[in-house]
Structure 1
Amino acid sequence: MPPTPYLAQLPADLLARAAKIRVAVFDVDGTLTDGRLWYSEGGHETKVFHVHDGLGLKRLQANGVQVAIISARISHPVALRAEELDINHVYQGQNDKRACLLELLDALKLTPDQAAFVGDDLPDLPPMNIVGLAVAVANAHPWVAEQAHWQTERKGGKGAAREVCDLILAAQGKSAAERAHWQ
Structure 2
Amino acid sequence: MPANYLANPPADILARAAKIRLAAFDVDGTLTDGRLWYGEDGRETKVFHVHDGLGLKRLQANGIEVALITARISHPVALRAEELGIAHVYQGQGDKRSCLLELLDALHLSPEQAAVVGDDLPDLAPMRIAGLAVAVANAHPWVVEAAHWQTRQRGGEGAVREACDLILHAQGRSDAERERWQ
Aligned pair 1:99/2:89, yes or no? no
Partner of 2:57: helix, strand, or coil?
A: helix
Query: What is the identity, as a one-letter code, of the residue corresponding to 1:24?
Result: A
Scaled by the length of structure 2, the TM-score of the pair is 0.98
Q: How many residues align?
A: 181
The residue that corresponds to 1:161 in the other structure is 160
Query: What is the identity, as a one-letter code, of the residue corresponding to 1:91?
Result: Y
How far, CA to CA, are the matches of 2:38 and 2:178 in structure 1? 39
**Counterparts of 1:36-75 in structure 2 under 5 Å?**
36-75=35-74
The residue that corresponds to 2:19 in the other structure is 20
Q: For each residue in 1:108-145, what CA deviation from the matched residue of structure 2 results, as whole angstroms up to 9, or x when unmatched?
A: 00000000000000000000000000000000000000
Aligned pair 1:149/2:131, yes or no? no
How far, CA to CA, are the matches of 1:61 and 1:109 in structure 2? 17
User: Which runs of 5 or more structure 2 residues have no equivalent in the other structure?
Assistant: none
How far, CA to CA, are the matches of 1:4 and 1:78 in structure 2? 30
Partner of 2:177: helix, strand, or coil?
A: helix
Runs of 4+ in 1 over 4 A off after TM superposition: none
Partner of 2:47: helix, strand, or coil?
A: coil
Q: For each residue in 1:34-53, what CA deviation from the matched residue of structure 2 results, as whole angstroms up to 9, or x when unmatched?
A: 00000000000000000000
Over aligned residue pairs, what C-alpha RMSD do you find?
Answer: 0.9
Partner of 1:9: helix, strand, or coil?
A: coil
Aligned pair 1:122/2:121, yes or no? yes
